[in-house]
Amino acid sequence: MSSATFIEIILAIILPPLGVFLKFGCEVEFWICVLLTLFGWLPGILLIRLILTLPVSTTTTERAFSAMKICKNRLRNKMADEFLADSLVVYIEKEIAEIFSSEYIVDVFKNLKGRKADL
């Protein structure tokens, strides 16, 4: 096996249209190879993107269910859905929630509308 044949084999593996171009030139075989490469490459890129994002979305879902298990226990089983959802958002995103102080939240709540009693 000569070095030229070895280089053609490597090029055919890495970039198939280039290997076909070196063998047949710019004829029908080359264009068929370009089309087949594109039809295989585009779905492959989409599949790789799906594979890379799937663990992140699975982890987020597992984290949400773990938080739900902690928040909605036997004692809080009668909790309303809206209150549970709000509590879970605060629990799941606790890094963001730590930025806000209790005083700030009370001040914002006080300014929403007039109350009959002072908070």
**Rounded mean pLDDT of 13-42?**
79
CA-CA-CA-CA dihedral for 68, 71, 77, 78, to nearest 10 = -100
pLDDT of residue 118: 60
119 confidence band (pLDDT: 50, 70, 90): low
Res. 15: pLDDT tops 80: no
pLDDT per residue as tens digits for the range 30-86: 888 888 877 777 777 777 777 777 776 777 777 777 777 776 665 566 667 777 777
pLDDT of residue 116: 64
pTM over cut 0.75:
no
Percentage with pLDDT > 90 across the chain: 0
The first and second tokens of residue 85, run together, are 């959802």
Res. 107: pLDDT tops 80: yes
Rounded to an integer, what distance in angstroms lies between the CA atom of residue 52 and that of residue 76? Answer: 37
- Cα-flanking dihedrals φ and ψ of residue 31, to 5°? -70, -35
Average pLDDT of the chain, as a whole number: 75
Domain residue ranges in the chain? 1-65, 72-119
Residues 6+ apart with CB under 8 A from 92: 63, 64, 67
